[in-house]
Amino acid sequence: MDWLKKKKAKVIAGVLPTLMRERGWEKQLDLHSIFPRWPELAGKEVSDHAQPLKIVRGTLWLEVENSSWLQHLQYQKFELLDILNQSLRMSRLSDIKMVLPVKKKESGQRPGRSVSFVSPDEKKIAAFEQQLSCIADEKCREALMQFWYLSQACKVDEQ
């Protein structure tokens, strides 16, 4: 049975690279390679206070411990972006966004509000990008796209 497992592993190892290339997963895997290497790439001090949450449309989302660290990291954002992009082989991050952690409701507290991130449907994104295509200024288009995306992705939950 052990030889059968080895044979299956060789077959999968031979098919996997082709499948990844055909499906376009190579770039996504390259981007997400940041997550396990975060302490090494960002440094111990930063990784102790900020953790990567997700990557959406080339933007890395970080959860930052508190507002002081959020402000500190805003000043280091472009340096950190450069370090992360240098570590990638075939993809690039375009931006880093930072959020504070959502506080969990403790017993005895009044109900509050929390924000969750839900990616908009790909069809909605494509439709909005189509609408923006008439705007000549690229920076303006990108800013409007980011504003629209966040307005769609940030859902306020009543607790």
pLDDT tens by residue, 96-138 = 999 998 765 555 555 555 666 677 788 888 888 888 788 777 7
Domain that holds residue 24: 1-101
Tell me the three state secondary structure of residue 15. Answer: helix
Do 94 and 120 belong together in one domain? no
pLDDT tens by residue, 5-40 = 777 666 666 666 676 667 667 777 777 888 888 999
Do 145 and 71 belong together in one domain? no
pLDDT reported for residue 79: 94
- Nearest residue to 33 (alpha-carbon basis) of 100, 93, 76: 93
- Nearest residue to 33 (alpha-carbon basis) of 91, 77, 78: 91
Backbone torsion region of residue 107, taken as left when φ is above 0, otherwise alpha when ψ lies between -120 and 50, otherwise beta: beta
Do 112 and 97 belong together in one domain? no
- Check: CB of residue 133 under 8 Å from CB of residue 95: no
Do 30 and 90 belong together in one domain? yes
Do 97 and 109 belong together in one domain? no
Do 30 and 79 belong together in one domain? yes
State the average pLDDT over residues 147-157. 70
State the average pLDDT over residues 49-58. 90
Work out the mean pLDDT of the chain and round it to a whole number.
Answer: 79
Do 6 and 49 belong together in one domain? yes
pLDDT reported for residue 109: 52
pLDDT reported for residue 90: 83
Alpha-helical segments (H) within the chain: 2-23, 25-32, 38-42, 44-49, 67-87, 122-132, 138-153
Q: Buried b / exposed e across 8-19, counting CB within 10 Å, b at 16+? A: eeeeeeeeeeee
pLDDT reported for residue 115: 63
Q: Measured between alpha carbons, how far is residue 75 from residues 72, 83, 108 in Å?
A: 6, 14, 38
Do 126 and 141 belong together in one domain? yes
pLDDT tens by residue, 68-80 = 999 999 999 999 9
Tell me how far apart the alpha carbons of residues 31 and 18 are, in angstroms, rounded to a whole number.
Answer: 18
pTM: 0.55
pLDDT higher than threshold 80 for residue 146 = no
Do 58 and 128 belong together in one domain? no
State the average pLDDT over residues 82-107. 84
Do 74 and 26 belong together in one domain? yes
Do 14 and 86 belong together in one domain? yes
pLDDT reported for residue 29: 77
